[in-house]
Amino acid sequence: DIQLTQSPSFLSASVGDRVTITCRASQGINSYLAWYQQKPGKAPRLLIYAASTLQSGVPSRFSGSGSGTEFTLTISSLQPEDFATYYCQQLYSYPLTFGGGTQVEIK
Amino acid sequence: QMQLQESGPTLVKPSETLSLTCIVSGGSINTYYWGWIRQPPGKGLEWIGIIHLSGTTYYNPSLKSRVTISQDMSKNQFSLKLTSVTAADTAVYYCGRRIPVAGGWFDPWGQGTLVTVSS
């Protein structure tokens, strides 16, 4: 199985901050990575697929980059509605594993 | 707009079988892949398995001996069965569509249903 390690697992930030979350894969996964946002009591919401393609309707302050084993999700200017937990998922091979999540909280 | 809705018992006794159905509206399941993901309370996401329109299935090895995913094209729905459940299977269960383009992604997701395993 491909393991995904997200860091940090928790971060505290202020509105307007630039935030970067890292996802590292235990082996190369090309660009077969998606990012999701999850708010309490809600289903995950797709933000980015193919490592860097923004899903329709997702604000442009979100961006993704990387390929192979290292990936990043960046929020250029954190907004109040962005406080949530973020997950990466690899879709390169079965089982389709998720990272452990990064909880973004208000400082 | 496609919508997915999980349905089934929310309380299951230990050693029994958990059965859930995902009802798809606004589109046909005769496309792509359809899968299940779960999330224990306060924890992260765990991928359970997936079924292709051809009927081919892929399961998480950690659950493979207990999981069956099937589909009913005539009812536009797909289902999850998890046998011999324990308290560790208590989780919110989500269904979702996987689109295998440009690497792929899961979207949309159902709203999720909390299934509790308890006597």
Q: What is the pLDDT of residues A61-101, one digit of tens each?
A: 999 999 999 999 999 999 999 999 999 999 999 999 999 99
Position with higher pLDDT, B101 vs B22: B22
Read off the pLDDT of residues B46-94 as tens digits, 9 standing for 90 and up: 999 999 999 999 999 999 999 999 999 999 999 999 999 999 999 999 9
Task: Kindly tell me the number of DSSP H helices and DSSP E strands found in chain A.
Answer: 0, 10
Q: What is the pLDDT of residue B103?
A: 78
Q: Which residues of A touch B44 (CB under 8 A)?
A: 87, 98-101
CB A101 within 8 A of CB A85: yes
Q: What is the pLDDT of residue A56?
A: 95
Cβ within 8 Å of residue B50, ≥6 positions away = A94, A96, B33, B34, B35, B36, B57, B58, B69, B98
Confidence of residue B106 (pLDDT cuts 50, 70, 90): very high
Q: Which residues of B touch A33 (CB under 8 A)?
A: 103
Read off the pLDDT of residues B10-59 as tens digits, 9 standing for 90 and up: 999 999 999 999 999 999 999 889 999 999 999 999 999 999 999 999 99
Dihedral Cα A70, A10, A53, A1, nearest 10 deg: 50
Question: Nearest 5°: phi and psi at B89?
Answer: -90, 0
Smallest CA–CA distance from B42 into chain A, residue: A40
By DSSP bridging, strand B113-117 and strand B11-12 are parallel
Closest Cβ–Cβ partner in B35, B105, B112 for A43: B112
Cα separation of A42 and A21, whole Å?
21
Q: Does A101 touch chain B (CB under 8 A)?
A: yes
- Does the pLDDT of residue B102 top 80, yes or no? no
Cα separation of B36 and B78, whole Å?
10
- Does the pLDDT of residue B100 top 90, yes or no? no
Distance from CA of A42 to the nearest CA of B (A): 7
Q: Does A87 touch chain B (CB under 8 A)?
A: yes
Of A29-33, A85-89, B102-106, the poorest mean pLDDT is in B102-106
Q: What is the mean pLDDT of chain A?
A: 97
Range A40-50 average pLDDT: 97
Cα separation of B94 and A35, whole Å?
17
**Using CB atoms and an 8 Å cut-off, which of residues 48-77 of chain A contact chain B?**
49-51, 53, 55
Q: Which residues of A touch B110 (CB under 8 A)?
A: 43
Q: Does A32 touch chain B (CB under 8 A)?
A: yes
| Residue B98 token pair | 């996987």
Radius of gyration (C-alpha) of chain A in whole angstroms: 13
